[in-house]
Amino acid sequence: MAGLKLDRATKDFGGPPVVDGVTLDIADGEFIAVLGPSGCGKTTILRLVAGFERLGGGSIAIGDRAVSGPGLHVPPEDRRVGVVFQSYALWPHMDVAGNVAYPLRVAGVGDDEMRRRVGQALETVGLSGLGARRPADLSGGQRQRVALARCLVMEPSLVLLDEPLANLDTHLRGAMQREFDEYHRRTGTTMLYITHDQAEAMALADRVAVMSQGRLVQLAPPSRLYREPATRMVAEFIGQASVLDCDVLSAAEPGQAHARVLGIDCVLRAAPGEAPRRAAAACLRPEDIAFAPAAPGAGHATLRRVTYRGGSFALEAAPDAAPDATLRLVAPEPCALEPGARVSLGIRDGWIIPAA
């Protein structure tokens, strides 16, 4: 088992950096999700850690051992890192046991030891008894488990997973998420799990590293990302948010400030030291905003969309004070409001996004 440290890791492919000064300190046994939109550099980070790419600048250490840095590049096979790709990358002509045994064979492990470890890895992923099947005769979920078993059989100190569930349907994704979670609990292996799916990241990870355009924007536990996003990008990428202009008026209790949003005076959560300023931004979650039907011509906002979510409705409204902004609200079922309805608003809670 090993932690992982990236220190100002940088990589370009001849153009601007696609990984841009990323510093990450992951504790031994932590489950970290790397989350961000397509093209933000997630896979490149994984390939740098695995040793498939050479670092342009900075350094990487696995456990106590420097593996990438100026003049240093430990080859992938000497890093004790297991990798699971989205595409599974199984050998079609080998059966399941053969696929799982492959890295052991390459490493020159003897037959008895190999059989024992393959059996154990297949049991870990719930595939005992399917060792003689070909990948073509397995479901997508089973193939992904073979890929996971092939990674685990090497007893890696660090497991890297690149969108391992992106090809599976929703139900199977949920089941596989539980298996990753259980595997992590049972073994305490350090996991770096790449995904563009924020719900998956939030469900699995101890901490989530949010990336944008090659940079690490925030590294925090899921609830902190949701409640205290460091930037507007994080606020909008994680969960549902209304990001609204806000005037910070004065400090309240520690961690809170008096503010005015949409012309409404309220008390919002704020970073320590948040000072009065104009043109700040506030992140309000749907549950932070109270609303009630208002008479035509009264109230604060007009409903634009009403979407049924099963048990609740997601509402979008245009506030009078900022007609171009979108307010995201949630209403329990039943809900009689329709697009065009007027509503009055109350602000219960929210977070002042720190100044850049």
Q: Is 173 in the site for ligand ADP (CB under 6 A)?
A: no
Q: How far is the CB of 39 from ligand ADP (least distance, A)?
A: 4
Q: Which of ligand ADP, Mg ion, none is residue 91 near (CB under 5 to 8 Å by kind)?
A: none
Q: Is 52 in the site for ligand ADP (CB under 6 A)?
A: no
- Using CA atoms, how far apart are residues 180 and 203, in angstroms rounded to an integer? 11
Question: Which of 17, 20, 33, 41: binder of ligand ADP (CB under 6 A)?
Answer: 41
Assess contact for 121 and 153: CB atoms under 8 A. Answer: yes
Q: Is 13 in the site for ligand ADP (CB under 6 A)?
A: yes
Q: How far is CA 356 from CA 149, 277, 326, in A?
A: 44, 13, 22
As a whole number of angstroms, the longest Cα–Cα distance in the chain is: 81
The pair of structure tokens assigned to 26 is 């992951």
Q: Which of ligand ADP, Mg ion, none is residue 173 near (CB under 5 to 8 Å by kind)?
A: none
Q: How far is the CB of 137 from Mg ion (least distance, A)?
A: 28
C-beta atoms surrounding 198 within 10 Å? 20
Q: How far is the CB of 167 from Mg ion (least distance, A)?
A: 13
C-beta atoms surrounding 236 within 10 Å? 14
Q: Which of ligand ADP, Mg ion, none is residue 299 near (CB under 5 to 8 Å by kind)?
A: none
In the block, residue with structure tokens 């037959």: 111
Q: How far is CA 273 from CA 255, 260, 282, in A?
A: 8, 18, 16
Q: Is 43 in the site for Mg ion (CB under 5 A)?
A: yes
Q: Which region among 31-39, 77-85, 132-140, 269-277 touches ligand ADP (by CB under 6 A)?
A: 31-39
**Closer residue to ligand ADP, CB minimum distance, 40 or 153:** 40
In the block, residue with structure tokens 């008895």: 112
Q: How far is the CB of 43 from Mg ion (least distance, A)?
A: 3
Q: Is 198 in the site for Mg ion (CB under 5 A)?
A: no
Q: Residue type at 145?
A: R
Give 175-183's long-range contacts (Cβ < 8 A, gap of 24+): 175/141, 176/141, 176/144, 176/145, 177/203, 177/204, 179/125, 179/126, 179/145, 179/148, 180/204, 183/124, 183/125, 183/148, 183/152
Q: Is 198 in the site for ligand ADP (CB under 6 A)?
A: no
Q: How far is the CB of 152 from Mg ion (least distance, A)?
A: 22
Q: Which of ligand ADP, Mg ion, none is residue 79 near (CB under 5 to 8 Å by kind)?
A: none
Question: Which of 42, 143, 173, 328: binder of ligand ADP (CB under 6 A)?
Answer: 42
Total chain residues near Mg ion (CB under 5 A): 2
- Which residues are at the interface with ligand ADP (CB under 6 A)? 13, 18, 36, 38-44
